[in-house]
Amino acid sequence: MPSKVPLPPVRIPRDVPLRFERFTDRFHGFEDVPAVQAIFGPRTRRVLRDLRVEYFSVPWGYMGVSDQDGHLIVSTHYLKTGKPRDIYLDVVHELVHVRQFGEGKELFPDGVGYADTPTEIEAYKHCLDEGRRLDMTERELFEYLRVEWMSEKDLRKLAKHVGVKAPPPRKEQKRNR
C-alpha cells in the first residue's frame, strides 16, 4: 500500500535532455584506421564526424551503442582504468554496432543469448581481426572476449563462433577492460 505521507515540495525533472559530444572531439585518428575504414568505407570521415557520444561515470560498464538512435555510450571510468588496447578494440567493436544500427539491424534481439547474437558475432569478428593485426595471441584474443556477464560456457561458445581457439578450461576470471 502506498504511503499516505505526501512528498515535500520539491521539483524533480522528468524529461532531462542528454548532453552529447561529437566522437571526433575526443577520439582522434580513428578515421585513418584501416579497420574503421573497412566498417564505413568512403563514408568513414562523415560518419565519425556526425557520431554523437554520451559519457557516463560509474565504476562498471564499458561502452555500447544506443538502440534508440545509434549514438555511442562510453564509461569515463573505463576510459581512465581500462587497458588501452582493450579500449581501442572496444571502440572498433562498437563502431561496427553503429553501422549495424544504421542498417536497421536489431542490436539486442529478444530471446538470443549474448554469445549467439549475430550482431555481436560480426562486431567481435571485426575487432578480433584487428587484434590479430596487432599480433595478439589466441590466448590474448580469448581473454579479450571474457566479460563478467558471460559464463565460461558462453565464453567458449562465443570464441567458437568468432574463430578464436579456446585454451583448456580453467577457473572463471573477470577482466578489467
Q: What is the pLDDT of residues 69-112, one digit of tens each?
A: 999 999 999 999 999 999 999 999 999 999 999 999 999 899 99
Q: What is the pLDDT of residue 52?
A: 97
Report CA-CA distances (Å) from 57 to 22, 62, 74, 79, 83.
18, 10, 9, 10, 17
Which residues does residue 63 pair with via DSSP β-bridges, in sequence order? 74
Judged against a pLDDT cut of 90, whether residue 57 lies above it is answered with no
Rounded Cα distance between 5 and 49, Å, is: 51
Judged against a pLDDT cut of 90, whether residue 47 lies above it is answered with yes
131-139's contacts with Cβ under 8 Å and 24+ in sequence apart are 131/85, 131/89, 133/35, 134/85, 136/85, 138/164, 138/165, 138/167, 139/167
The secondary structure of residue 163, as a DSSP letter, is T
Supply 19's cell numbers. Answer: 548532453
Judged against a pLDDT cut of 90, whether residue 18 lies above it is answered with no
Judged by average pLDDT, the poorest of 39-43, 54-58, 80-84, 127-131 is 54-58
Q: Are strands 72-75 and 63-65 parallel, antiparallel or unpaired?
A: antiparallel
Measured from the Cβ of residue 79, the count of other Cβ atoms closer than 10 Å reads 16
H/E element, 95: helix 84-102
